[in-house]
Amino acid sequence: MALYSDKVMDHFQNPRNVGKIEDADGIGEVGNAKCGDIMRMYLKIDDGVITDCKFNTFGCGSAIATSSMATEMIKGKKVEEALELSNKAVVEALDGLPAHKIHCSVLAEEAVKAAVKDYYDKNGIEYDQEKFKGVHNCEACEA
């Protein structure tokens, strides 16, 4: 059996939605330079719907593939639906990941949540803090 599924390889070699949204409504950055994987997710939101989503990821092929798949899974969804995205759903959509790469799917889930949290914060939208428990937006970090 191959280490990576065809879908993982496709999203790594042909990532969808790579780039930056200059006037993003929400930006989330998660990861750690020490471990090597950093994801930045950009959301454009109109009337509560994610109309565009882009990412920049510094990391391994699995990190790029999970970022790409996550953007595909939330584009066109209501913000509340995007918050339901789980790392398990990303792994399933990619037809699996090796156990030692599951952390990449967790980063993808956290990047989406961090970007939504940023959108909520910028717009003064109240939200349930529990939905964002454990999500750390690196943009707020000091160097």
Annotated catalytic residues are 35, 104
Residue 31 φ then ψ, to 5°: 120, -170
Can you tell me which residue has the tokens 């200059």?
22
d(Cα 121, Cα 66) in Å, to the nearest integer? 25
Residues near 30 by beta carbon (within 8 Å), at least 6 away in sequence: 38, 39, 107, 110, 111, 114, 135, 136, 137, 138
